Amino acid sequence: MSNENKTEEMEDDVLNNIESQEGEQDGSSVGNEDLEKGEELSLEEQLQEDLNKEKDKFLRLFAEFENYKRRTSKERMDLFKTAGQEVIVSLLPVIDDFDRALKEVSKSEDREMFKGVELISNKFKETLKNKGLQEIEVKQGDAFDAEIHDAITQIPAPSKKLKGKIVDVVEKGFKLGDKIIRHPKVVVGN
């Protein structure tokens, strides 16, 4: 019997070992399922994070593109406004010459020549005006503004009223659109 008892004890030990191993495996499989779910969640979280990063990149790129479109549109509009600025600036001395010619021709007795020169001058000025050129109105007695006027010299003021004011306009000033392309040259009373 002792052999039978030993055999039974051994069988019981083996059964206990098998049961304990099965229990451990069941427990570990539950633990593995939890780990897999945790990994899946972290994988989902990781994918969500990546998606959010890509959305952020997309929104930033879209905003940058919108800014680019707005900036180039503004530059294009500015270019159209001042496209002929160089040509118009080079024609300003011609306007000055017409003004001097009109002064001299008005002194002569030939009215036909005066009317012809005046007609050409007015047509030329009107054409430039249609292109956006505007004369800056300056007259004697106006207050001197360093942002608009270009003082070429100062002279003693002929009267107290003209002290610090414009005494004479030497050269007319012009604007193209809102931009001053030539400042009026003036003499200021001191």
Ranges of each domain in the chain: 12-81, 84-131, 133-190
- First vs last Cα of the chain: how many Å apart? 140
Domain 133-190 is in which class?
A: mainly beta
Give the whole-angstrom CA distance, residue 167 versus residue 149: 12
Give the whole-angstrom CA distance, residue 149 versus residue 141: 13
Dihedral over Cα of 143, 146, 147, 153: its sign: positive
One-letter amino acid of 172: K
Q: 0.75 cut: is pTM over it? A: no
Tens of pLDDT along 60-109? 999 999 999 999 999 998 787 767 888 899 999 999 999 999 999 999 88
